[in-house]
Structure 1
């Protein structure tokens, strides 16, 4: 019996050490394989030390990722690398380097990376490449121009939308309110008119729900869950978490657009298109059977989503920052209002023609956009071929982060980069000066498709608000210029008072 117990003890010990050795071997093998697979290539940009498997996921502050990435450039240079999970990326910082990449070598940096989350969400226009991107972008630009996109013919539409929101604000009688939803509504209604052919009332529950979903989706896209999903897609598809919420948000958003497409199909007159969806449905019919055609209903839904979300969130978020900055700097708000009173007065509506005679207001709007830094890390790019940049070799297909934060706050380009200073856009005579380093809409071949419309909306909406109201924080409350990090950089929710100006 003693002998049996001894043999059993030896056997168990052997099995235990055998399993332990196997686990040690497995761990060493995984770590070695990860090191060999993810070793920096020859002449690849430098970067911070990495953890096994997860790389540099924990090297940056997820709540202030754009600031962390900008700070890393002070240590590793304007061109450096990060490994997020199993995916390498190159980060480009500073105006001169971004200009070299996006403009001088624009063809080489014009692609988008193949990101698993984007593929699963099926957002085609912004993250597509090759013939698909070229066809869809060309068609979208020409169609929206046909409906006045970025042209003066949209002025009455924008100004009419302002009359709707001013009725709502008037109801608060100078008392505090949260401008968040209202600003989303007025901006998204401009896109709605172009895409759907009609605007929504502000109390429309479906409309309110879908705009909230868009904002939530963009916030989740800028979170660590997106990085984990793109790094370990097979695993993350099976796991619960906020990434599943993001997928459901875009699924519900696409269903909303699908219903609009079906409504259009029931009342389509090919000879008299009413909006973007009508034109796209016509294009599907005209290109049916062509081998290289990329026009179908799935791409239509994806393109509408791409137009609707950025077209709403970026401009509305900029206006939310505008109210905050005007409340924080009342002396600047007074100078804007004085210029409006001089050039426009209080009775007539503003026009884009007024902008040339309003250099200070124009400068303030540009400084709001610079300081707000709405899309801090831009949308990711990818190299279409092997590229030489600042002495480093960037392989074909590499994800590239063009850090707009590093440009909009570049100390070599701005006299007081971290101070709200409209003088950045004024010369000694007080005339407006366009700055080359002002690229909140990105630059090169992937410049924001809606830049002209956004500029028009910002000028007309901002000037109209300043013409009719003085913005101030509630009694005893100071403006908080803090943000919530995501793909878009919105301010924290706040309440503000819109005090009607005396006519």
Structure 2
């Protein structure tokens, strides 16, 4: 479809409209405004959550910053309370703020708040298939299958540890090639974390120089940035804007490329499939599908579309978020060298020069605390992925209708002043008791919670610990020459996730 010709056609149609048609449109707009205002005015009578007064058609768009929506909503929660309503255009959204409220909704009322809000862009991504952006039987069956299969392939177990340690060595070799000179570590880190999930999904790792692998990883990274852009947020509110948005067209190109690449890998694996020797997630899915067909058991969920989109979902989620978190870890310890000193002292004292292992974590409380604090302060998924109520519910005294979009504001959990002693500063002591032992904090919720919590949390936690500890054993990280620690910028690049600004560092060998 030609975008420019589409625009021309619509403009031609507009100018050819008759005066009577324009009057009819004006009357309809006035009716919409009338109904909209009466609906908003009835909030108090229905005991719906409070919120700022919306403007006609625009809702509360003029009262928030779409470039840092999570912060705007966090600020509004201080005025309107932990459960409040905002309107994005005519779209009503209930925001949940603060640890206690988010936990109560996602864990204690998991059924009511457990559906996914499939926004226009999410539907464009998956067409209701896969795991992350689906509901109903599709989501239940695909999530159940994914959890079982990921565990079968060692998620959180010794087999994953061996695979991660092997990848640590490849990553170390990449860092060593710079010989202590300044470089941006983003791509190397992304390739390393992507290879862990690739081994589970496809049964193999990729060379960092593989151009197809590089393109696949970079497309996912760019798509995550674009998905959180202001123009895509506006598209979700006003879908008719789609033809005019460059970011939407760029996202759809990336989606098409991802589908093409996944189908190519799928074709290769189908040709060599041996149900007696399951090599990866795709093999497990194909074998399940084959067994159901042979048993003549009807299960409509095991089809190629669900397989393709599930693989795309898991690959993107399992690579970008873990890689982004590891980048933040390195940026923080480079900016705060005294903290890096303490991590390396602990590693030298407890582990020495041998290979760090997952079992060492219990004896490395400070290292573990630094990783947790990096995740907390980085807050890479600030609004989680939008939820939707599955039925009418009364929550904290407020009436919330079935199908209402819900934002569990993770920013407000990870920065909750009633839960964290210094929520806006980098402070590993948040996770240490007076004796220096690691302590778990209930308000540590970077993976969300409840039915829609991150599928790969245990794998991500293992990756972060092993990659971070391995690198800190072998390298001293410093700012580039001429740059001070204070000059390192920890202001995030805002997308669907919060990434560090592009930064350089020096990885100086400690061997």
Asked if Structure 1 and Structure 2 have the same fold, meaning a TM-score greater than 0.5 normalized by the shorter chain, the answer is yes
Asked if 1:245 corresponds to 2:250, the answer is yes
Counterpart for residue 175 of structure 1: 181
2:160 and 2:197 map into 1 onto residues whose CA distance is: 11
Asked if 1:309 corresponds to 2:313, the answer is no
- Structure 1 residue corresponding to 2:490, chosen from 467, 471, 481: 481
- Structure 1 residue corresponding to 2:113, chosen from 109, 116, 123: 109
Instruction: Give runs of aligned pairs for residues 16-415 of structure 1, distance below 5 A.
Output: 25=27, 27-36=29-38, 41=43, 42-122=46-126, 124-233=130-239, 235-288=240-293, 289-346=296-353, 348-415=354-421
1:18 and 1:444 map into 2 onto residues whose CA distance is: 53
What is the deviation of 1:114?
A: 3.1
1:380 and 1:441 map into 2 onto residues whose CA distance is: 14
CA contact (8 A) 1:89 1:400 kept: yes
What is the deviation of 1:402?
A: 0.3
2:366 and 2:270 map into 1 onto residues whose CA distance is: 47
Asked if 1:439 corresponds to 2:439, the answer is no
Q: What's the TM-score once normalised by structure 1's chain length?
A: 0.93
Counterpart for residue 493 of structure 1: 502
What is the deviation of 1:121?
A: 1.3
2:20 and 2:197 map into 1 onto residues whose CA distance is: 65
What is the deviation of 1:287?
A: 2.3
CA contact (8 A) 2:183 2:504 kept: yes
SS at match of 2:87: strand
2:24 and 2:130 map into 1 onto residues whose CA distance is: 46
What is the deviation of 1:220?
A: 1.5
CA contact (8 A) 1:175 1:497 kept: yes
What is the deviation of 1:385?
A: 1.2
What is the deviation of 1:446?
A: 1.3
Q: What's the TM-score once normalised by structure 2's chain length?
A: 0.91
2:92 and 2:425 map into 1 onto residues whose CA distance is: 34
For 1:321-380, what per-residue CA distance to the aligned partner results, in whole angstroms no more than 9, with x for missing partners?
11111111101101000010011112x110001001111111111101101111111011
What is the deviation of 1:439?
A: 0.8
CA contact (8 A) 1:376 1:404 kept: yes
Q: Call closer, same or farther: CA 1:398–1:19 in 2, change over 3 Å.
A: closer
CA contact (8 A) 1:65 1:485 kept: no
For 1:367-408, what per-residue CA distance to the aligned partner results, in whole angstroms no more than 9, with x for missing partners?
011011111110111111111112111111111100011010
1:394 and 1:83 map into 2 onto residues whose CA distance is: 14
Counterpart for residue 5 of structure 2: none
- Structure 2 residue corresponding to 1:472, chosen from 462, 478, 484: 478
SS at match of 2:61: coil
CA contact (8 A) 2:231 2:245 kept: no
CA contact (8 A) 1:60 1:68 kept: yes
1:397 and 1:101 map into 2 onto residues whose CA distance is: 15
1:364 and 1:435 map into 2 onto residues whose CA distance is: 14
Q: How many residues align?
A: 485
Gaps spanning 5+ residues in structure 1: where? Answer: 1-15
What is the deviation of 1:284?
A: 1.5
Q: Call closer, same or farther: CA 1:479–1:400 in 2, change over 3 Å.
A: same
CA contact (8 A) 1:178 1:496 kept: yes
1:24 and 1:191 map into 2 onto residues whose CA distance is: 54
Q: Give the structure with higher Rg (CA).
A: 1
Q: Call closer, same or farther: CA 1:19–1:143 in 2, change over 3 Å.
A: closer
Q: Call closer, same or farther: CA 1:471–1:82 in 2, change over 3 Å.
A: same
Q: Call closer, same or farther: CA 1:382–1:24 in 2, change over 3 Å.
A: closer
Q: Call closer, same or farther: CA 1:19–1:138 in 2, change over 3 Å.
A: closer
Q: CA RMSD in A?
A: 1.9
What is the deviation of 1:18?
A: 8.7
2:450 and 2:249 map into 1 onto residues whose CA distance is: 33
CA contact (8 A) 2:356 2:469 kept: yes
2:24 and 2:389 map into 1 onto residues whose CA distance is: 41
SS at match of 2:209: coil
